Structure 1
Amino acid sequence: MYVVLGATGNVGSGLIEALRASGESVIAVVHSAEKARAIGYGNVEAVVQDVSDVAGLRAVFRRGRRAFLLNPPADPGTDTNREELKTARSIAAALENSGLEKIVVQSTYGAMQGDGIGDLTVLHEFERLAEASGIATAINRGAYYYTNLDTLLEPARQGFIPTAFPEDLTLPMVSPADLGKAAAARLASAASDTGIQYVEGPERYDFADVAAAFSSLVGRPVRVATTPRSELENSFRALGFSPAAARAYARMTEATLDGPELPPAPHRGTIRLQDHIAALG
């Protein structure tokens, strides 16, 4: 029996799809009855469970043999670093005396020790807490999600795509569906398969490639409109982010601009950036 957190999210959905095909019994942890009704059928049992409830989540973990751990994103109107660290610590606390033999942690390229740098520092802490549980821990660091680009379709129809990144910056990217498949493989692999694995798409891209893919979709030239580094924090605040969240996301973006992580031998998925963007139309 596998336990899957974040079962209806971008990565979790791909993982559940892969596990349905495997026939393995799955407990999908969701946060609403509506989501439970949508996902809970066949070999997938949906359980509504708040991951901040340590005792309740531990009881769910005890029903499984292995678990996929994804720390849910916080509302950007809050202090996202503070809230996401809370849930990371709750999930880790629930691992104690859970009886699990292996866990697979979803993390990110560029995860680093520190404080207040968005997902980079929150997920590094999540990795550390998971490993400290004493349970065999496999960590999948995913590249920049293609789904982060989905909101660019409408501006692309107007001839531009707004981004924090210059068009010539190489930025590893990946389909969340491929991340789900990679997570399924590590859930099923030997307990000795631990440590960090990097997961990205079949090749590396820059935002010139993104613009070209949108241009093909909308049938007109599309240019890259890069937000100046000095305006990053304001750009997040304009989207409704709290001051704390805007600062954290700006710092995370700045860390990427200073040099994205480029591992030499990542696990490569099969879904191309161009195919993901073409499907948006």
Structure 2
Amino acid sequence: MEKVVAASTMGAAAGPALPPRTGDSSVLYEFEQGLASQQIPVAINRGAYHLSNFEMQIDQVRETGKLQTMFPADFRLPMVAPEDLGKAAMSRLTSSLNDVGIVSIEGPMRPTFGDVADAFAEVLGSQVLVVTNPRDKWVEVLKAEGFSEPAADAYARMTAVAIEGPATPESETEKGCTSLKAYIRVARRIIPTVLKAAPRNFPKPHRREGRSRSGEVPQLKAPEELWR
């Protein structure tokens, strides 16, 4: 093995200063330290808040006109599309052995949660309001969404650290090219269709050759074409 490229989180930057049981933030910091202690060159990509986290809210936002969140509407949080994280990982996998160390990755702009609501409003064609859940209800809300008690507690702690802790300066991050609005626009089109069509037992996907009812051969778009 010549080189290791690892995916981490921008929240791991606080490392040892984090309180206990802060989930990914503390676990991934320890993971980074373990990788750095061995002899193989290591490149660590710290990703921002994944835009894919909003996919589970598409139906709820469309039905209620409300974006439920633990963050204030005017809070700016680094966000990134998984597509951009994949491109960054591929770049470092194929770069020289001198390309090591930590790189933080976010999208082209650092949006607020009000911006997220506006992006939903634009693609849905209706007003969307940000509803910020009070801190003493965070664990309760997360458990209602399916989190276990320990997972809800850890996620609530991570959220508190994200709000109160120091943010990575934008001047120190690498920027992806997928905008918030572009991501929400594509997710809104794809996710409901996928969920509606997916069988409950989720069998292994396979590709079928043939023609559509119109007689045309289906053409699959490359991922980068979807996000334009």
Question: Bigger CA drift: 121-130 or 233-242?
Answer: 233-242
* Structure 1 contact 171–260 (Cα < 8 Å) conserved: no
| TM-score normalized by the length of structure 2 | 0.77
| TM-score normalized by the length of structure 1 | 0.63
Q: Determine the C-alpha separation between the residues in 2 that align with 1:225 and 1:176.
A: 25
Counterpart position of 1:164: 70
User: What RMSD over aligned residues (CA atoms) do the two structures have, in Å?
Assistant: 1.2
Q: Determine the C-alpha separation between the residues in 2 that align with 1:133 and 1:214.
A: 45
Output one character per residue of 1:116-146: Cα deviation in whole Å (capped at 9) or x when no partner: 1011001101111111222101110000011
Task: Give the deviation of 1:265 after TM superposition.
Answer: 2.4
Alignment partner of 1:103 is 2:103: no
Counterpart position of 2:86: 180
Q: Determine the C-alpha separation between the residues in 1 that align with 2:150 and 2:144.
A: 13
Moved over 4 A (4+): none
- Structure 1 residue runs of 5 or longer lacking an equivalent are 1-99
* Structure 1 contact 145–176 (Cα < 8 Å) conserved: yes
Correspondences of 1:38-187 after superposition (within 5 Å) = 100-111=1-12, 112-113=15-16, 114=18, 115-157=20-62, 158-187=64-93
Match of 1:251 among 145, 152, 157: 157
Alignment partner of 1:269 is 2:176: yes
Task: Give the deviation of 1:217 after TM superposition.
Answer: 1.1
Counterpart position of 2:226: none
Partner SS state of residue 11, structure 2: coil
Q: Determine the C-alpha separation between the residues in 2 that align with 1:260 and 1:235.
A: 25
Alignment partner of 1:242 is 2:145: no
Match of 1:189 among 84, 87, 95: 95
Output one character per residue of 1:85-118: Cα deviation in whole Å (capped at 9) or x when no partner: xxxxxxxxxxxxxxx1110110001102353101
Output one character per residue of 1:140-185: Cα deviation in whole Å (capped at 9) or x when no partner: 0000011001112112212111111111000010010000000011
Q: Determine the C-alpha separation between the residues in 1 that align with 2:85 and 2:141.
A: 29
Q: Matched residue pairs, number?
A: 182
Task: Give the deviation of 1:260 after TM superposition.
Answer: 5.4
Partner SS state of residue 155, structure 2: helix
Counterpart position of 1:230: 136
Output one character per residue of 1:217-243: Cα deviation in whole Å (capped at 9) or x when no partner: 111100001111111111112222222
Counterpart position of 1:33: none
Q: Determine the C-alpha separation between the residues in 2 that align with 1:203 and 1:240.
A: 31
- Structure 2 residue runs of 5 or longer lacking an equivalent are 190-228
Q: Which amino acid aligns with 2:144?
A: A
Higher relative contact order (CA 8 A, sep 6+): 2
Percent of aligned positions that are identical: 44
